[in-house]
Structure formats: structure tokens, C-alpha cells
A = this chain, B = another copy of it.
Amino acid sequence: MPKTAGIILVGNEILSGKIEDANAAYLCRELRALGVDVGRITVIPDEVRLIADEVAAFSRAFDVVFTSGGVGPTHDDVTIEGVARAMGVPVVRDPYLVELLERYYRGRVTEAALRMAEIPEGAELVGGETVRFPTILMRNVYVLPGVPEIFRAKFEALRERFRDQPIHLRNVFVSIGEGTLADFLNRLLEDFPLLQLGSYPEFSNPEYKVKVTLESRDRGYVEQALADFLARLPADVVVRVT
């Protein structure tokens, strides 16, 4: 079961501010809910060498890697070539993908469109049962498209592969600022060093000043930490616990 994930967004259009990526935020939420820690997100241009370097580094660093973007038929779609170069294999044309494309284009498939039948040699095709085109998986790297609707449909078809032990989360909303809260957080971490502890100030929220998050894969550990934290905080500063 994968415990850590990395996300690589390939896209000049994101770096140049033309579009706002929605795939990374979606994937972070989904993976978190499945119990997978996302360790890093990177956004890089549509350049084969950069993609190859990043894919190679991510593939070593994380259990599973997702790429988004750069998989169409035009000159700037070079993700497959980048993944192949990262793994030291050539790009080959997959007969099954050729067949799917010929069916999709009703026999009038152009040479350019056939670029979408290219895969890194040795890649698998996965999750094709419920979506029109399967996803290319090269070792631990899932190659997904940038278009959000298709990205999501393809991830949905794969999601159960990534389910792990859930991460338990409790939230404490407090009416004091971080300057005062910091000491309480530091003392909590001394007693619960394995706790994932977050502190998120809100500057324009009338209800609370900081949201504190307590997380762990061990539910008992989170609940014990929460009880200790609440026992130490002055009762009138706790706005809400969820």
C-alpha cells in the first residue's frame, strides 16, 4: 500500500498564469482521505529534460507519483517522452491504444492523434474498465491528463488502489492568537512528539482566531493528545472542537 505520494504538474499554462490548476488540490484532498501523505508538488514547464529529471527524482522519493498534463497530440505534449527518459526506456506505440483511438476517431485518426497511443516501453495500462481510455502506469508513475474532468474520472477509476490506514484528524478552533497559543502547542508537542500538529490563523474570521489541527494514523494517540490539549487550554478560549 502506498504511504507517500508526489505530484508533478506539467504546464507552461499554469506557470504563465493562464489557468489555475485544480488537479493538485483535488488529488491532495482525495489522497489524504485515502490515508496517503502527499510529500511534494511541483509545477514545471513542458520540457522533456525537466520532466525526466523530476519524474526520476519523485519516483525514487515517493511510493507513488502522479503527473498531470502534457499528454495530448500537439508539440507541447511531451510528458510521455519525459517519463520514458526518466526510466531509461524508449517510447513505443501501444497497439491496444491505437485500436481505441481508431475507434474513437471512427477510422479518421491523424498521425498527430496517434501520439496519444505512445507509452514508455514496459508501461502498463490500468483502470480502463470504467473510462474511455486507460491510464498509463510506468513503474510507480501514473500519467494523468491536465483537463480536470478527465483527470478526475481517471483517478476515480484507480482510487481503491491507494487506500491505506486512515489519518485521524481533530480540529480545535480557539479565540486567542498564535502569539499566545504557541506555548500551548510547544508543550503539547513535547508530550506527543509524533503528533502532526498544525496551526492556521484566520485574520478576518469573527468566530475564531486560529484553527489547530491534530493528526495521526493512530486514533488513540490523537484522542489522548486532544484531551491533554483541551485540559491545558483555558476553557473560555475554545470556540469549537470538531
Contact = CB atoms under 8 A, between A and B. Distances in A.
A113 B74 CA distance: 52
Interface in A157-192: 178-183, 185-186, 189
A13 interface: yes
A71 to B, nearest CB: 11
B16 A113 contact: no
Main secondary structure of the interface of A (DSSP, over half): mixed
B45 A42 contact: no
A165 to B, nearest CB: 15
A32 interface: yes
B15 A40 contact: yes
A179 B73 contact: yes
A17 B31 contact: yes
Given A182-B112, A201-B72, A32 B14 contact: no
A203 B13 CA distance: 17
A43 B13 CA distance: 18
Contact of A113 (B13, B24, B179): B179
A199 interface: yes
A76 B47 CA distance: 34
Contacts of A39: 15, 45
A149 interface: yes
A213 interface: yes
Interface residues of A, number: 60
A18 interface: yes
Contacts of A115: 182
Contacts of A24: 43
A147 interface: yes
A1 interface: no
A17 B12 contact: no
Contacts of A30: 17
A149 B25 CA distance: 20
Nearest to A203: B147
Contacts of A149: 203-204
B41 A14 contact: yes
Interface of A: 12-21, 24-25, 28-33, 37-45, 72-76, 105, 109-110, 112-113, 115, 147, 149-150, 178-183, 185-186, 189, 196-201, 203-204, 213, 215
